[in-house]
Amino acid sequence: MIQFPPGFRFGMATSAYQIEGAADVGGKGPSIWDTFTARPGTVRHGEDGRTAIDHYHRYAEDVGHIAEAGVQDYRFSISWTRALADPDFYDRLVDELLTAGVRPVPTLYHWDLPQELEDRGGWLNRDTAHRLADYASAVALRLGDRVRDWITMNEMNVHTLYGYALTDHAPARGLGLAALPAAHHQLLAHGLAVQVLRTHGAGAIGIANQHFPVSAAGDDPADQFAAEMFRNLTNWTFSDPILLGDYPDEMIRAGIGTSGAQLDRDLELIGARLDFYGVNFYEPTAVEAPREGKDYAGVLEVDIPEGLPFSPVPVKSDERTDFGWAIVPGALTEILVALRDRYPALPPVIVTENGASFHDAPPGPDGRVHDPRRIAYLDAHLRAVKAAIDAGVRVDGFYVWSAFDNFEWAAGYDERFGLVHVDQETLSRTRKDSWYWYRDLISGCGATD
Ligand code: FCB
């Protein structure tokens, strides 16, 4: 049994668009994910999140699956368009969690921008950051008497890369490096949200940033340069402004489209103190300088535009999840240590997402879902967290992605990350072996508040 420091918090994580469904219930307006999924060819089998796993209607049962595992925290996201039209839903959810003894940890923004704001430029428009602050204020007014812990933004790097630089996620802009202003405006939104949440008396504020080690595929200086640039663009661009007060290099500074006194003021806001720093981790990345004549199409699941000075290549690994992601638990220790070394002011870390997709068989005659590979994955990654703690990194918690099988963005419903199996036809829930394993681990750790 792995032992964690007293007070270590175990949790589960989800996001609104991936589970809620009830797309138009209560006057909820569309988000960019409703628009994106309605376009043919965007999602693997043309699925969408209109019903998702119908968490909106089944939240009480779902809170049971969360609470009975013994987790201290539940990280979910608030749908911006729902919160404005039908905030009662989040009242009910928060009350249900608190009654069950689980601490709600809402994320304000997990990629589902109101379509109305996209029509006005989305994250390329600076004003979107101010609109997020208004929305944060409305939500804090409504829930702030019961919610203590807040996460502002989720994986601004993935949203910028897949949604703005490439076309794999909403809003599918395909701008290449011209996507950088979307990064800055999300960071500004984070800074403004921190300010708003503090005004409303928030107890603890953090962010959920995805991080991963980036290695060069070879010793060639061109590969080293490519890796350095990719690392800056996908990792440090989203954390240096928060934890060091500036962007990692001149090229990025020039690309974000804000400068001078305005940038100085923005960086001041963005660099506001946080109470915890959320790290989402899945797999490391390897990068090379593009080789003349090499066909990169199909090397990875995403199409990288031509002309960029780097090309991600598959990481060497003996083991992969069914999503094809490399299983390298040591990379989690490595990135946690790297964050500690890079940022003297790093707040206590919470691993706000970690988990794996395996294409689990539905419940068999014994009524169980056997997912030994997910258990092995989570066990190895929790040990990797423990190794980071032993190396002196302060890590205060670990949230499994995800509580339930759900809508995995452009991959649809094939990719199952849940501790709880969801039958996509009947929407019935079945606790997987990994759910029981997690429950036993938590009770064995005797983690307390
Ligand atoms: C992360 C996302 C989350 C989920 C996992 C598998 O990048 O934050 O919504 O899709 O990957």
Note the pLDDT of residue 416. 98
Q: Is the pLDDT of residue 304 over 70?
A: no
pLDDT band of residue 303 (cuts 50, 70, 90) is low
Q: Is the pLDDT of residue 299 over 70?
A: no
Q: Which residues are catalytic?
A: 155, 353
155 CA from centroid of ligand 1 (Å): 8
110 CA from centroid of ligand 1 (Å): 9
438 CA from centroid of ligand 1 (Å): 20
Please indicate whether residue 417, judged by its CB atom, sits closer than 6 Å to ligand 1: yes
Please indicate whether residue 15, judged by its CB atom, sits closer than 6 Å to ligand 1: yes
pLDDT band of residue 292 (cuts 50, 70, 90) is confident
Note the pLDDT of residue 449. 46
Please indicate whether residue 283, judged by its CB atom, sits closer than 6 Å to ligand 1: no
For the segment 389-398, what is each residue's pLDDT rounded down to a tens digit? 999 999 999 9
Beta partners for residue 422, in sequence order: 429
**Mean of pLDDT values over 146-164:** 98
411 CA from centroid of ligand 1 (Å): 11
Residue of the CA atom closest to atom 9 of ligand 1: 15
Note the pLDDT of residue 447. 46
Q: What are phi and psi of 36, to 5 degrees?
A: -60, -45
Percent of the chain beyond pLDDT 90?
Answer: 93
**Mean of pLDDT values over 91-112:** 99
For the segment 9-27, what is each residue's pLDDT rounded down to a tens digit? 999 999 999 999 999 999 9
Q: Is the pLDDT of residue 448 over 80?
A: no
Note the pLDDT of residue 414. 97
Q: Is the pLDDT of residue 276 over 70?
A: yes
Residues 152/133, Cβ–Cβ less than 8 Å: no
Amino acid type, 329:
P
Cα angle at 359 between 159 and 161, to 5 degrees? 10
For the segment 200-245, what is each residue's pLDDT rounded down to a tens digit? 999 999 999 999 999 999 999 999 999 999 999 999 999 999 999 9
Residue from 280, 378, 407 to probe ligand 1 pocket by mutation (most atoms less than 8 Å from CB): 280
Please indicate whether residue 408, judged by its CB atom, sits closer than 6 Å to ligand 1: yes
pTM: 0.97
Please indicate whether residue 155, judged by its CB atom, sits closer than 6 Å to ligand 1: yes
**Mean of pLDDT values over 335-359:** 98
**Mean of pLDDT values over 408-414:** 98
User: Tokens at residue 84, please?
Assistant: 């404005």
Q: Return all residues near 125 (Cβ < 8 A) that are at least 6 apart.
A: 117, 185
For the segment 44-55, what is each residue's pLDDT rounded down to a tens digit? 999 999 999 999
Please indicate whether residue 13, judged by its CB atom, sits closer than 6 Å to ligand 1: no
